[in-house]
Amino acid sequence: MRLAVLSDIHANLEALAAVRRAGEQCGVERWVCLGDIVGYGADPQACLAQVQEWMACCVMGNHDQAVAGLGNLGYFNAWARQAAEWTAAQLDPAQRRYLAGLPLSLAEGEVLYTHASPADPGGWGYITSAREARAALRATASRLCFVGHSHQPLVCAAGAGLLDLDRPLALRAGERYLVNVGSVGQPRDGNWRACFLVWDQERDTLEFVRSDYHLHRAQAKILEAGLPPFLAQRLAQGY
């Protein structure tokens, strides 16, 4: 089976649609979402509907928690806070209940899915370095731990540190890995294209996939909604 793992859609419907097309083209049979469906972007309702329709499972992100009314907006910056408040006003009660009911982490056999660090899933710690990835791996016995949150793709092997992302990675027997799958809707690694990960479970390989999408349309929607212009600008800059 080819499993796609994605994260940080952030209400970017254009990016999500492109990722779905790319996944279908490369034979993805099952999808998992690591949270932050909403926040920042202008299509929270449509993105939520898509996630509910075709994701096999989903965990909670910090923006999902905040929009559901469960988190403190005080630690958000001004742009994120304004977007979260706007998003909460767009959603109906059933949609907010769906977000509120998402788990912080989910284990399936040898795999753990969580939005942030498995050491404290609700503490929203970022993983952006080998040191942080190794610390996170020490907090779980899972062979594979998939995370998001930082919007920056990364693979760290417990015994080898950070690994090359430019080609498919063959997983080694007996090794454990932490994988940050990057962001669909707001990448921050200098590449504006939507990012997700495909795990070919038969071959036991991981591959990052980047997809072009209708960037200008997503930006125009943000501006039309009255959200901070910076949220539109940063999409083209990949940070």
Output the domain CATH number for residue 177.
3.60.21.10
pLDDT in tens, 180-210: 999 999 999 999 999 999 999 999 999 999 9
Interatomic CA distance for residues 69 and 171, integer angstroms = 39
- Number of domains into which the chain is organized: 1
pLDDT of residue 74: 83
Per DSSP, helices labelled H in the chain are 13-25, 44-54, 62-67, 78-90, 93-100, 130-138, 215-224, 229-237
Are 217 and 14 in contact by the 8 Å Cβ rule? The answer is yes
pLDDT of residue 150: 97
Provide long-range contacts, Cβ within 8 A and 24+ apart, for 119-122: 121/59, 122/65
* Domain range enclosing 166: 2-237
Residue 160 has pLDDT above 90, yes or no: no
Are 115 and 147 in contact by the 8 Å Cβ rule? The answer is yes
Residue 93 has pLDDT above 90, yes or no: yes
**Averaged confidence pLDDT in the chain:** 96
pLDDT in tens, 23-74: 999 999 999 999 999 999 999 999 999 999 999 999 999 999 999 999 888 8
